Amino acid sequence: MWVLPFACACASVASGAPATRPAKVTKADKATAGIDALALALSGADEEAAAKAATALGELADPAAHDALLDGLAFGLRTPVAVEALLGLSKHPAPPDVSSFKRYAGHHNPSVRGTAIAALAKYPDPAAHAVVVQGLHDTAGVVRNAAADAASKGHMREAIEPLLALLARGEESAARALAAMADADLVRKIGDQLGRVPDASLALCLGLVLRRPDFGPDTERVEVVRAIAKITDQSAVSALTDYLDATPKNPPRPSRTEAEKVVEARLSGGAK
Amino acid sequence: MKRLALLALVGACGGNAVFHLTAPDNDREALSAALAQRQLPVQASPVNSAHVPRVFVLEVGMGPKKTIVAYDLAASSILWRQDADVQSRIWVGGNFVVELESKQLVARDQQTGAVKWNTSVPGEFIGASADGDRAYLVWKEDAHTWWLAAYDGSSGKQLWKADADGVLGAPAAHGGVVYAPYNAQWLSIIDGRTGKPLARIRGIDEQISVIRTTSRDAYYGSTQGVFELDGKSSSGKRADSSYGQIIVPPQLDHTTYGRDAYDPVQLAYTAADRSRILFATTEGMKLANDGYAVHYFRYVFGFDLKGALTWAYSNPRVELVASEDSGAAILAMSSTGELVALDPKNGGVRLQRNIGTTAPVLGATFDADGWSPPAQGERVETVKALVSIARDHDARFDRVKEFAVRALAQRPGGEVTKELLGVLADARAPQKLKDVVVDLLVARKDPASLSVLAEQLATHDDFLLQTTPLALGPVARAIAGLGGAKLDPAVVATTLAALQSHLDAPTTQVADLVFVIDAMAAIGGGKERPALGSHLLLYHADDDLGTDVAWGRAIVVALETHGGPGERELLRQVAADPRTKPDLVAVIRDALALD
């Protein structure tokens, strides 16, 4: 159930009353007045001004700006404004944001829920992870892509199984997310999907793992090369060729040598 | 003396004007005498001389021939099988059966199936019948002349014949008299031994085209209703006779009380034998067993005296090609030779056994009046039968399926609701049937079904699971119908959560969303308000949902009608928000009676 601060949002919108001017205007007062103005614009009828206000509020580190965004989202924003507000909110993540993102992750508009789900990558809250995982089941590809990206950025282990299921359906975003998240164990698990997922998707995924500078040691990369070598599709050669192109010859790497052998054998019509 | 001898000769061998338009009819005394002359058993019993219950089955044979299978119901064994070029139904006499083979009326020994005698049909075959001692034959000689003749059952000797200057229908016989329908308006009762006309009934306000005899009773009438032949029949009128009209649901159309005596097609076993009203009566045309049954192809339905369905039977896979109410059981034969006996009171299956036919069965004649296999506390599975009918994919029975789901919906309980939902889930079920089921679910208002409806809400649009909600709108409407009913609070909480999951689901269609909102408001008891309030705020300025009047009306009514002061204040604030879509503002202002 949402915790809705709509009562206060209602009051500020409905009254339209100007803020009471303080006796002495300080720097802080000026900032507050600016946030109030942006908050009013955010909830105003001018959609363009509202979107700009959302962006501006997101740039501010002031908690009041953050609260203004939460209030605006709580009262409901039109689609383009909601997208900006969600992006702004995620620039300064705070635990209370999750419920608001969760609410917009179910929005009828795929762009809105994609934005909300993408933003949840920054939140370690299990509730946030659950929303991202649910996004992997979404019927809209743009939302699944956003969820896959968020799962990758948030290193969400609970997303691995649905990502493998998406990989089996040939979803590129899942291949990229898994590649980004993969450690040695996950690479083996991905390699075991041979025959269960499209060859091209598997080759893309493992090829991306190979090109990750943080993946290693090289003995693990050798295993990845060997896993790719089992893929009979031409995409395997492309993945290994990309790896060869992206890595220097020297100092020599066993994984590169292994990749060269596989590519040469394939190009010369060999079995391997 | 010579003249008397000549008259006797005419009486034995030629026409004697038994049937003509000006003969007396509806004579009470003559009718009483005719009825008294019948030699009927004290208790209902088979016609055959041994009084053993039997069924005579006609199955497809080799080449153009067919095979008659005589089966002893009491001993559960085949008496005999005989190949024959049978072109009619089979009529059962005392120690013989008769049927048409080519242009011959053939009598066969009932113990062995061997031909006892045969006789040429001198014209167009119109029909035949038999009683304990005699066989009767009706034929058409030319465009203006019909004949009824009697033959000795043992020898085949013609005993008498009588001509008619109008249309004669197929006869029926029992107890030594033969009933001959004439010109669709009369029923003549003839002494089977002598051919003497005993009485004649004229239908004044109903045609006479159907005749049905049991060992003790005779019925006549039309597709509209049926008279029991008794002393009151002399009135010729429905109101003053022992008359009955049985309520048959419109979905079971073309169902009849018996064979049409004037339809030449029905001389053979046809599809008409597969849609029949089955009944037995006690004195004064009172229905025995507190009801009646309707055989409709694969199905048999039992009804009470008010015409309400009490039980149903669905024969597995194949049609029932013949049926009879023996008074003690509903007997039926399937096209695969399965003999079925049902308890006429509750549809319990007393017997279901293959009699050992080797080819498809075309039809059957039961001679089993008064007989039933012993009752053994058999299970009555009416719901299962109705479900089986509703799920039948045979497109011929779409209206019967509608009848079945309507009958099903009359029964309480979550299991029934689950079955109705199963019809909606059936991809091969006709859309019209699904529409009926939806209406029934909505009208059902069965509190015990709430948990089943909530379970149905568990499915969502899911790309990975490849699922989509099934009948979300109808299920929500059914739940909304439970508003005000006494419901289990725990089940309500579960249901509310399930409904909210669809309220919050991005893919819920607006048409369904409206019903989800209605359902939440109907059963929520106030607990739904935060979710509905949040939903309104989320979409009040939305270019799509916010402009949908049906959605606006649903959410506003839900909050205004079922909410408190807080919800009304929320509505006022939303109406005052300059971003709120004008149509939604109008709905709110209307609901709150704002200026």
Q: What percent of chain B has pLDDT over 70?
A: 97
When pLDDT is averaged across residues A134-139 and rounded to a whole number, the result is 98
B567: part of which helix (H) or strand (E)?
helix B565-576
Asked whether the beta carbons of residue B463 and residue A2 sit closer than 8 angstroms, the reply is no
**Average pLDDT of chain B, as a whole number:** 93
Q: Is B511 on the interface with A (CB under 8 A)?
A: no
A177: part of which helix (H) or strand (E)?
helix A172-181
Q: What percent of chain B has pLDDT over 90?
A: 88
Q: What one-letter code names the amino acid at B532?
A: L
Tokens of B19: 């049937």
For chain B, the maximum distance between any two Cα atoms, rounded to a whole number of angstroms, is 120
- Tell me the pLDDT band of B112, cut-offs 50, 70 and 90: very high
Which residues in A lie closer than 8 A to residue B577 (C-beta atoms)? 13-14, 43, 75
Model confidence pLDDT, tens digit, residues B512-534: 999 999 999 999 999 999 999 99
Model confidence pLDDT, tens digit, residues B79-103: 999 999 999 999 999 999 999 999 9
Task: Supply the pLDDT for residue A15.
Answer: 35
CB pairs under 8 A between A and B: 82
Task: Supply the pLDDT for residue B573.
Answer: 95
Residue A207 lies in a domain: no
* Domains held by chain A: number: 1
CB of B438 closer than 8 Å to CB of B471 = yes
Q: Cα separation of B323 and B274, whole Å?
A: 8
Q: Is A2 on the interface with B (CB under 8 A)?
A: yes
Name the residue facing A139 among B463, B538, B542 (closest C-beta).
B463
Name the residue facing A103 among B462, B538, B578 (closest C-beta).
B538
Whether the per-residue pLDDT at B8 is higher than 90: the answer is no
Asked whether the beta carbons of residue B543 and residue A165 sit closer than 8 angstroms, the reply is no
Which residues in A lie closer than 8 A to residue B544 (C-beta atoms)? 108-109
Q: Measuring CA to CA, how many Å separate B284 from each of B70, B242, B372?
A: 34, 6, 24
Q: Is A184 on the interface with B (CB under 8 A)?
A: no
The ipTM is 0.87
Min Cα distance B420 → chain A (Å) is 28
- Tell me the pLDDT band of B381, cut-offs 50, 70 and 90: confident
Whether the per-residue pLDDT at B61 is higher than 90: the answer is no
Mutate to test the interface with B, among A40, A134, A139, A166 (most CBs of B within 10 A): A139
Q: Cα separation of B155 and B472, whole Å?
A: 73
Min Cα distance B469 → chain A (Å) is 13
- Residue B454: CB atoms within 10 A of its CB come to 20
More confident of the two residues B534 and A4: B534
When pLDDT is averaged across residues B178-197 and rounded to a whole number, the result is 96
Burial degree of B439 (CB within 10 A; 0-12, 13-18, 19+): middle
Model confidence pLDDT, tens digit, residues B149-158: 999 999 999 9
Name the residue facing A79 among B536, B542, B573 (closest C-beta).
B542
Task: Supply the pLDDT for residue B1.
Answer: 38
Residues of B numbered 327-366 whose beta carbons fall under 8 angstroms of chain A's beta carbons: which are they?
none
When pLDDT is averaged across residues A115-128 and rounded to a whole number, the result is 97
Domain boundaries, chain B: 15-367
Name the residue facing A144 among B463, B533, B576 (closest C-beta).
B463
Tokens of B164: 């008619």
Residue A25 lies in a domain: yes
Q: Which of B409, B369, B423 minimizes the C-alpha distance to B132? A: B369
Q: Is B466 on the interface with A (CB under 8 A)?
A: no
Model confidence pLDDT, tens digit, residues A44-98: 999 999 999 999 999 999 999 999 999 999 999 999 999 999 999 999 999 999 9
Cα angle value B589/B592/B595 (rounded, 5°)? 50
Q: Is A224 on the interface with B (CB under 8 A)?
A: no
CB of B327 closer than 8 Å to CB of B214 = yes
Asked whether the beta carbons of residue B463 and residue A138 sit closer than 8 angstroms, the reply is yes
The answer regarding whether domain B15-367 maps to CATH 3.30.540.10 reads no
Nearest residue on chain A to B529, judged by CA atoms? A1
CB of B196 closer than 8 Å to CB of B60 = no
Asked whether the beta carbons of residue A76 and residue B576 sit closer than 8 angstroms, the reply is no
Question: Please, which residues bridge with residue B202 across strands?
Answer: B186
- Tell me the pLDDT band of A272, cut-offs 50, 70 and 90: very low
Model confidence pLDDT, tens digit, residues B196-253: 999 999 999 999 999 999 999 999 999 999 999 999 999 999 999 999 999 899 999 8
- Residue A239: CB atoms within 10 A of its CB come to 27
CB of A166 closer than 8 Å to CB of A159 = no
Q: Is B531 on the interface with A (CB under 8 A)?
A: yes
Residue A82 lies in a domain: yes
Whether the per-residue pLDDT at A21 is higher than 60: the answer is no
Residue A57 lies in a domain: yes
When pLDDT is averaged across residues B247-268 and rounded to a whole number, the result is 94
Q: Is A1 on the interface with B (CB under 8 A)?
A: yes
Please state the φ and ψ torsions of residue A201, each to the nearest 5 degrees: -70, -40
Residue A271 lies in a domain: no
When pLDDT is averaged across residues B260-277 and rounded to a whole number, the result is 96
Which residues in B lie closer than 8 A to residue A117 (C-beta atoms)? none
Q: How many residues does chain A have?
A: 272
Please state the φ and ψ torsions of residue A109, each to the nearest 5 degrees: -85, 120
Asked whether the beta carbons of residue A75 and residue B545 sit closer than 8 angstroms, the reply is no
Residue A27 lies in a domain: yes
CB of B495 closer than 8 Å to CB of B453 = yes
Asked whether the beta carbons of residue B540 and residue A136 sit closer than 8 angstroms, the reply is no
When pLDDT is averaged across residues B12-25 and rounded to a whole number, the result is 68
Please state the φ and ψ torsions of residue B46, each to the nearest 5 degrees: -60, 155
Query: Running DSSP on this structure, what letter comes out for residue B239?
Result: T
Which residues in A lie closer than 8 A to residue B545 (C-beta atoms)? 108
Mutate to test the interface with B, among A3, A75, A115, A163 (most CBs of B within 10 A): A75
Q: Measuring CA to CA, how many Å separate B323 from each of B256, B341, B353?
A: 12, 10, 15
Task: Supply the pLDDT for residue A208.
Answer: 97
